[in-house]
Chain A
Amino acid sequence: MTYVELKSLNKTFAGKPAVRDFWLSMEKGEFVSLLGPSGCGKSTTLRMVAGFEEPDSGEVWLGDQNVLDLPPHRRGMGMVFQSYALFPHLTAWNNVAFGLRIAGRPAGEIRRRVPELLELVGLREAGGQYPRQLSGGQQQRVALARALAIEPRVLLLDEPLSALDAVVRVTLREEIRRIQSTLGITTLYVTHDQEEALAISDRVVVMRDGGVEQVVTPEAVYAEPATRFVATFIGKMNQLTCVVERAREGRVRWGDHRLAVPPAATARLADGQAAVVLVRPEAVAVAAADAEGPAGENRVSATIELVTFLGPVTRLSLDVGGRRLLVDITTGDRGRFPRGVSVHLVFPAAACRVLADEASGEPR
């Protein structure tokens, strides 16, 4: 059942559209991330939901109530800011207690509730510390506890981890997900970090230039990007510019190579139409040129131009008849494929996704 519904939100700043016709439905207890590059409108969308920006048009529904005309504190939403926004003159304890005091809750309840919340975010001992005496990660935990103290119906997080270092980010994003799951609170999360969004979300909304590109689960956004933008924004993707040869049979031509793709992927394309075949680097197998190599529907010869160590995987940049292709191999196999070596590349038709060759064409 839909719990939060954003209907056709639009917002313009100085004549420039920041958010365009934004629709989203969220289930109760769902964790949805707004993902996109800087300036794509994700924070503006969140701020419209929170009540800090007034949309030019559109509606924000919470349950069976349109909350658009309500002030921020009457919307039942708790907000966590990118810069923590902790009150510097108050200790962590008093920051968490702030909303409860404003709400006029009894002192006994505040004395009971604040330690519970500090415990929840793992900061029971830091209640007496002022924000500047806490690390960035600790400050963000306090900010989370403060937002949860008012028992919001929806939790809004605006790039809460972007100011933290990589290790803390990973730890804290898992903490946020754990707390969200424990409380079952509906959460809208803004991030520009695709790994972060994929790791903690039930669904991801990929945004670009104020509009929605795709709303889908993390697995689907990775495996089945709807547009070339999504394909390039989420992970690495080979984009092979092709011409459809036989649409009904799933045959395309990539330079001198004939490739097989799922027939369903080309069913709505015409023979001779320009298309883009998307293949993830890890979906391509590589074998030495003189070896038998793995069998597969698509087999091309290539020369290794560059070998880049990326930790557990190593990325090969290959020349395929003047065209470039990226292939990820396990770092253990790295020694077998030095620069300049000729190899065979093999990838199954099922690993290919096909889009019409437009800037952001509909998936086919």
Chain B
Amino acid sequence: MNSRRHRLRRAAWLVLAPFFLFGLAFEILPVLTLVRSSFTAEGGWSLANFGRAFTPVMVASFRNSLQLSASTALLGVVGGTAVAYAIVTARSRFVRDALTALADVTANFGGAPLAFAFIITLGSTGVVTLLLKAVGVSLYPSFRIYSVSGLTIAYVYFQLPLMILLIVPALLGLRREWREAATNLGATRAQYWRRVAIPILAPSLLGSFLLLFANAFGAYATAWTLTGPDVNLVTVQIAALVRGEVQLDPALADALALVSLGVMAMCVAGYRWLATRPWMAAP
């Protein structure tokens, strides 16, 4: 009996081996290489790369990335929660399923294709731009899709549906009995939302915000395709340093990537911390 169990366990590890090898090759080793490279300068152990990572241009790139990530995450949280609430309270099952499917598709539509989609719709000669111009509304030059505001719209396009997918389960988890108990105890609808529903949803909202923030912070293809070097973001800086079109400096790119990794890690740690609070509703 025991030997059979051992054999089964060994077989299970064998089945998992490709996954571990994959993780080692494409996750662990690259991160270790990144760490070693970022802490190496002139052939020795050094913090010089991090010193160069905090020049005014690089600091500006972090500031822009943080601002863009925070603003699009916030817009995604607010808009996504509103749409998700409409979905979960929709009486028509068709509407619920259709909106959820749409969110599923659009949340995964990003990168260069998304950027091209925005260029041909809201670019200077885009379809929507020209249609609006035909009815007397000129988007340009006050608005440019190739700017931070354009980038914000493009990011919200995938942030909002991602938020819908993240928050729908939490909204579905709001139990009818909580509302009824609050009502029975004298709470109005507004008091129920302020004192019960929103506090219960708060960890999910904050956790989703952190995930959206990380999602935006790490985005590169959309930003690069849409704005090129015009908008100074961390991911754009890293790519430029690695490609070497102007300056080849992979060690500095690695240092920037490691700082970015730290930002991401803080987001994930924050999310995990929120998920394990004792006041989190049982699943």
Given A130-B278, A130-B279, A88-B185 contact (CB < 8 Å) = no
Please judge, given known A-B contacts A83-B175, A85-B175, whether A52 and B180 are in contact too, CB under 8 Å: yes
CB-based contact A150/B185 at 8 Å: yes
In the bound assembly, the distance between CA atoms of A98 and B180 in angstroms comes to 13
B186 with A103: CB separation less than 8 A: yes
Chain B, residue nearest A79 (CB): B184
Residues of A within 8 A of B182 (CB): 87, 98, 102
Given contacts A87-B200, A88-B282, contact A50 B187 (CB under 8 A): no
A83 and B281 alpha carbons, distance in the complex (Å) = 13
Q: Count of B residues near A, CB < 8 Å? A: 22
In the complex, A343 Cα to B177 Cα: how many Å?
56
Q: Which residues of A contact B180 (CB under 8 A)?
A: 50, 52, 72, 79, 81, 85
Is A90 a contact partner of B279 (Cβ separation < 8 A)? yes
Beyond A52-B180, A79-B180, A130-B278, whether A99 also contacts B185 by CB under 8 A is yes
Contact of B184 among A72, A86, A130 (CB under 8 A): A72
Contact B200 A102 (CB under 8 A): no
Q: Which residue, B186, B191, B196, B279, has most C-beta atoms of chain A within 10 A?
A: B186
User: Which of B181, B278, B280 has the largest number of chain A CB atoms within 10 A?
Assistant: B181
- In the complex, A39 has a CB within 8 A of chain B: no
Q: Which of A72, A88, A130 contacts B183 (CB 8 A)?
A: A72
Give per-residue flags for B192-230: 1 if the beta carbon is below 8 A from chain A beta carbons, else 0: 000110011010000000000000000000000000000
With contact pairs A87-B178, A87-B200, A88-B200 given, residues A102 and B279 touching in the complex (Cβ less than 8 Å): no
Question: In the complex, how many angstroms separate the beta carbon of B44 from the nearest chain A beta carbon?
Answer: 52
The distance in angstroms between the C-alpha atoms of A85 and B187, with both chains bound, is 15
Q: Is A77 an interface residue (CB 8 A)?
A: yes
Cα–Cα distance between A132 and B281 once the two chains are bound (Å)? 8
Interface residues of A in 80-112 (CB under 8 A from B): 81, 83, 85-90, 98-99, 102-103
| Most central of A73, A133, A149, A150 by chain B CB within 10 Å | A73
Separation of A280 and B281 alpha carbons in the complex (Å): 48
Chain B CB within 8 A of A321 CB: no
Given A87-B178, A87-B200, A103-B186, also A98-B278 (CB < 8 A): no
Tell me the smallest distance from the CB of B253 to a CB of chain A, in Å: 43
Inter-chain CA distance A90–B187, complex, in Å, is 15
Q: Does A71 contact B (CB under 8 A)?
A: yes
Residue from A86, A102, A130 within 8 A of B186 (CB atoms): A102
Q: What residues of chain B lie closer than 8 Å to A86, measured between beta carbons? A: 181
Whether A146 is near chain B, meaning CB under 8 Å from some CB there, is yes
Chain B residue contacts of A83, Cβ below 8 A: 175, 177
- Report the Cα distance A130→B186, complex, angstroms: 22
Q: Is the beta-carbon distance between A77 and B278 smaller than 8 angstroms?
A: no
Q: Closest residue of chain B to A131, judged by CB?
A: B282
B180, B185, B280 interface centre (most CB from chain A within 10 Å):
B185
- Residues of chain B within 8 A of A87, CB atoms compared: 178, 181-182, 196, 199-200
**CB pair A85 B178 closer than 8 Å:** yes
Q: Is the CB of A73 within 8 A of B281?
A: no
Q: Point out the residues of chain A lying under 8 angstroms from B191, CB to CB.
A: 102
A225 at interface (Cβ–Cβ under 8 A)? Answer: no
Distance between B279 CB and nearest chain A CB, rounded to angstroms: 4
Cα distance A50–B181 when bound, in Å? 11
Does A160 touch B at the CB level, under 8 Å?
no
- Contacting A at CB under 8 A, from B160-197, are 175, 177-178, 180-187, 191, 195-196
Contacts of B181 in A (CB 8 A): 79, 81, 85-87, 146
Is A78 at the interface (CB under 8 A from chain B)? yes
In the complex, the answer to whether B199 meets A89 with C-beta atoms within 8 Å is yes
- The answer to whether B185 and A146 have CB atoms under 8 Å apart is yes
- Report the minimal beta-carbon distance from A117 to chain B, rounded to whole angstroms: 13
Q: Identify which of residues 44-96 in chain B touch chain A, using a CB-to-CB cut-off of 8 Å.
A: none
Q: In the complex, which of the residues B175, B177, B187, B282 contacts A132, with contact meaning CB atoms closer than 8 Å? A: B282
Closest to A82 in B: B177
A residues 286-309 with Cβ under 8 Å of B?
none
**Complex formed: what's the CA distance from A275 to B178 in Å?**
50
Q: Please give, as numbers and ranges, the residues of chain A lying within 8 Å of B175 by CB-CB distance.
A: 83, 85
Are A73 and B185 neighbours in the complex by a CB distance under 8 Å? yes
Interface residues of A in 46-65 (CB under 8 A from B): 50, 52
A residues lining the B interface (CB < 8 Å): 50, 52, 71-73, 77-79, 81, 83, 85-90, 98-99, 102-103, 130, 132-133, 146-147, 149-150
Closest 6 CB pairs of A and B: A99-B185, A85-B177, A88-B281, A89-B279, A85-B181, A73-B186
